[in-house]
Amino acid sequence: MRATKCQLKFKGDVENYLSKSHNNIELIADRLLTLFNVKTIMGQCHIRKREGVHPADILFLLIIIPLLKLKTVHSFCQYKIEDWAGCGKDTFYRFKCKAYPWRTFLSKIVIKYFYLTDKNKPLRGPQEPEERYFIFDDTGLPKRGNKIQNVSFFHDHTKGRSTLGFCVLNLGLLTDAGFCPLDFAYRFGQKRHPKSPAEIIGDKRSISGQRSHEAKHMKKTELALDMLGRAIKQGHKADYALFDSWFSSPIFISKIRALYNTHAICRIKINNTYYEYNGKKYNVSQLYRLVKPKLEKDAETGLNVGQIVVRLPESGDEVKIAFAKGYKEPETETDPTKGKKKEKESGWTPFLSTDTTLTASEIIKKYSKRWAIEVFHKETKQLLGLGKEQSTDFNAQVFSTTLSYLLYILLTFLKQREEAATIGPLFEKLCDQVASTTYSKRLWAFLKEFLKSVLSSILNTFDIDEDITPYYKIVTQELAANLFPHNRIKLSDN
């Protein structure tokens, strides 16, 4: 059954402005959704409603909320904007909590993104970009409410302690156009809050149960391999897979190389994992002592580097380990050590590459590209509401993450058109322009109501029995021409 036609007033007002305003606003709210065929993709993913507001219109409003600098749907409705939208907050909540196939939806958006940026065409043709990188990393989404469905404790490495919330594993693809999120998966911890409700784990064969089932029963490395397999089946290719030391187990590295024929580059842990060199077993510290006398200053990185070719345990695959003295990763937080016990630095850092043709300097430079996903985490959290969902429903949490990644993709596309250096300044520019639009509309609505009241009072005072519509129309037209001469919004006369 088709959805009942329901005019979305707020969308119409915004579209009026978008069609005549600056190119960036026009792209983010109107052209982008049209270019990406969002409504068609939602239909293909069976994201439909039998009646009421169309899901694509609801999604449009939820995309606009961050641009209005409103944190929640409640804040959105509190400002009476639902009067323009033609629906109340319950419509938004029901939509967010519905178990729609958001993974399929996001994958189709990503394919469309690469097509629009002419980055998907090389994937299907004989010519490919020189380098592409799959990047894995996890991030924590702390939560204050212990009543949130399936919430648990996870180890927050930025704080160095256990935190209540969710752990989300992300897979992205770094190309010349920038970083693009491909897929994500939730991961539940073993420890739960004593006051939290019982876990609700669904059947992995159903849409509603898939996310919760994999979050409960699959390890991070299994989730990472699963996401990588889906990405490759969808046509995405990369020369290297980048990840930090948490995923650097020899088994995980061997599976990436064996299953997907993709080279792995990672930072490895300084532990008792033994590698074979010249027929003998050495751990990373022992290998460093062998290489240390041969360290040389690298002109490109400014680090003292060295390298050695060894074999992985169990698989016996040949890999190269590069050592860098004085290597430090940049920080995303203003004060990353606040509330965290400062770890003692070793002074040297080991990296591993399954591509043994690379030099130590090349391995380190390629690994540094992994930082793109850290920037992605920072921007989606600070600007796009990642982890800020307050609903207790787990499906709403999944949708909120999807929405943040969707908005990031749209902004990335817009950034390429605007040639902005980062998403942050572009986001602020969009917020200012949308806020200006909203203020003008609210001011005009107030003036019209005030004018009606004044005209009615005048006619009643002089006992004039006449329709005020002709007078009201003339005055509103004059006011609109004089008060908003440069405003590109079409101000309604009704």
User: According to DSSP H, which parts of 182-264 are helical?
Assistant: 207-217, 220-233, 250-260
pLDDT at residue number 74: 58
Residue 295 clears pLDDT 80, i.e. is over it: yes
For the entire predicted model, the pTM comes to 0.76
Among 439-448, 455-464, 465-474, the least confident range: 439-448
Task: Give dist(CA 305, CA 309) in Å, integer.
Answer: 14
43 or 204: whose pLDDT is higher?
43
Residues 408-422: pLDDT tens digits?
998 888 777 765 455
Q: At what angle do helices 220-233 and 250-260 cross, to 10 degrees?
A: 10
What are the CB-based long-range contacts (under 8 Å, 24+) for 441-450?
Answer: 441/13, 441/84, 441/489, 441/491, 444/480, 444/484, 444/491, 447/479, 447/483, 448/476
pLDDT at residue number 9: 40
- Residue 158: band (very low, low, confident or very high) from pLDDT cuts 50, 70, 90: confident
- DSSP state at residue 272: S
- Residue 443: band (very low, low, confident or very high) from pLDDT cuts 50, 70, 90: low
Residues 448-466: pLDDT tens digits?
666 677 667 776 776 677 7
pLDDT at residue number 436: 46
User: According to DSSP H, which parts of 68-172 are helical?
Assistant: 73-78, 82-85, 89-97, 102-116, 121-124
187 or 480: whose pLDDT is higher?
187
pLDDT at residue number 480: 61
440: left (phi over 0), alpha (psi -120 to 50) or beta: alpha
- DSSP state at residue 27: I
275 or 12: whose pLDDT is higher?
275
Residue 382 clears pLDDT 50, i.e. is over it: yes
Each domain of the chain, given as residue ranges in start order, spans 262-367, 436-483
Q: CB within 8 A of 47, min separation 6: which ones?
A: 55, 100, 101, 105
Answer for the pair 158, 140: CB distance below 8 angstroms, yes or no.
yes
105 or 299: whose pLDDT is higher?
105
The per-residue pLDDT of the chain, averaged, comes to 78
- DSSP state at residue 139: E
